[in-house]
Structure 1
């Protein structure tokens, strides 16, 4: 179906109230429902997902028993009928014209492989004043009102779309899906309680490597629901550490890692030195910056171990 859009929403044990907000935002999209389908991927939830989708003539709830966000997305890719895809998380509230803009942007530029826009916070509790420094870790961003695009370079483009609200031309996924089918170094993403990430970046880099362009379009705006527990220091500490460790793995896979591997034995000493350098005992910001450094060391030591085996 030419320019038919498939909305792919992975979900694991979703919060019913937040999911209802997400579905309500989809229900008022200005793109007619005969021009898009809704695929909810139940990623092995403890109980079946219950949500009224009778308003949409093209909806399906699919089951992916293999745990993990990446596997759920791949299930959606394989089942999607559209030439255009949209990744929506079960805590993303899209602006009413989001789907219409996705189709329009792809129609206007046939060389675009992946696009995204603004991801603005909708906090369920008052956040600490210092939190904006860690918005990127929470999949929040606003790059302004200008359109930004990028092609393949030796660094990860700052305007590359994030997973929340990412639009993808299905044709641009061919190499990514091929590598998955052959089991060649797929970067996994969040699984159960793990906060590891990198799946979004892996998709973007595979699309760029295939010769497509990616871009940021400010007309694409969503609200990302941030529950109270996600702004607590314990969660954020795990998040920044896991994110940095995963980031190293992604960059290494795509041969754009700017850092040298480090031996495993040196990691405890490096973490101790970083504790002192960041003065991690002073406040939350200093502590989280230290945890980010710990993630970097963990990632670089994993590379060293891998190199030692080859």
Structure 2
């Protein structure tokens, strides 16, 4: 690992997107336009992951902005397209519904400048609801990529498990040289976590990056001065969506941990899955209300994954 610091960091902001909501994407771009970091110190890369129709956006306000197209479906492939195209030493991943606070990019450059061993960092992802949310939604903030872990900084190294304060994909800032191991893994296509593809709500691509960085000797951290607001529309507060989300993400979480050799659960016989799900229906009181039902669907995703584990 090369810890040599640069006098001035430049950033590549990467926005992977698939059939984006035009209003939300525009709000994301407006927030980027308001960044206090000079436009000359960062480039903007939008990766259109095979949208229909192709993504269009007014980028005339930025002197170094481009829309690229990645035909291979999947969030991971879109991110890789952005990583390979990026010209700068720091990368910031921004979802097409993320509103970065105006000092986000400036704060990221400062943090990396002060911490030579940091490979990836993140901060607070706060909700911006399009309608008033139901009171029970807080149970699933983590699944919706929302988090506020307080006002203290936390830095972690590899500890043979997933780091409590590891950054999430929304707003994750990465030192490009720290991606070497992950990019090598991507080229080999071995144990790749492809993340969301089409209508699938699977995830884990960002967690895969974090684990690869940690195993390579880099540090990851949570920095509360990095703040973004995540737009949560009405449809993401519906029971059917959240049930599918928890089911898909729990399934991919097991797959991710297993691929890194840190899965604490054992493989289960496939024939037991229906029985476990029926038992789980009663254990989780899935009939008792929305929260219970959604959690049961998450349990079902975990059960399916454990039955399909490779040796």
TM-score range, shorter chain: over 0.9
- CA deviation digits over 1:171-208, x for unaligned, max 9? 11100000111121111100110001110110000000
The number of residue pairs the alignment matches comes to 305
Question: CA-to-partner distance for each residue in 1:244-285, whole Å, 9 max, x for gaps?
Answer: 000000100111111111111111000000001111000011
2:122 is aligned with 1:116: yes
The 5 A counterparts of 1:246-285 are: 246-285=252-291
Q: Is residue 86 of structure 2 the alignment partner of residue 80 of structure 1?
A: yes
- Work out which of the residue numbers 44, 47, 54 in structure 1 matches 2:53: 47
Instruction: Give me the whole-angstrom Cα distance separating, in 2, the residues matched to 1:84 and 1:109.
Output: 13
Gaps of 5+ in 2: 1-5
TM superposition score normalised by structure 1: 0.97
Aligned-partner Cα distance in 2 for 1:28–1:126:
27
Q: Which residue of structure 1 aligns with residue 74 of structure 2?
A: 68
Instruction: State the alpha-carbon separation in 2 of the partners of residues 147 and 179 from structure 1.
Output: 30
Q: Which runs of 4+ in 1 moved over 4 A?
A: none
Show structure 1 runs of 5+ residues with no match: none
Name the SS of the counterpart of 1:171 in structure 2. Answer: helix
Partner of 2:15: 9
User: What's 1:200 paired with?
Assistant: 206
Q: Per-residue displacement from partner, 1:137-180 (whole Å, max 9, x unpaired)? A: 00000000000110001221110000000000011110000011
> 1:182: which partner in 2?
188
With normalisation by structure 2, the TM-score equals 0.97
SS across alignment from 1:193: coil
* RMSD over equivalenced CA pairs, Å: 0.9
Residues in 2 aligned to 1:253 and 1:153: alpha-carbon distance in whole angstroms: 16
User: How many angstroms apart in 2 are the aligned matches of 1:229 and 1:183?
Assistant: 34
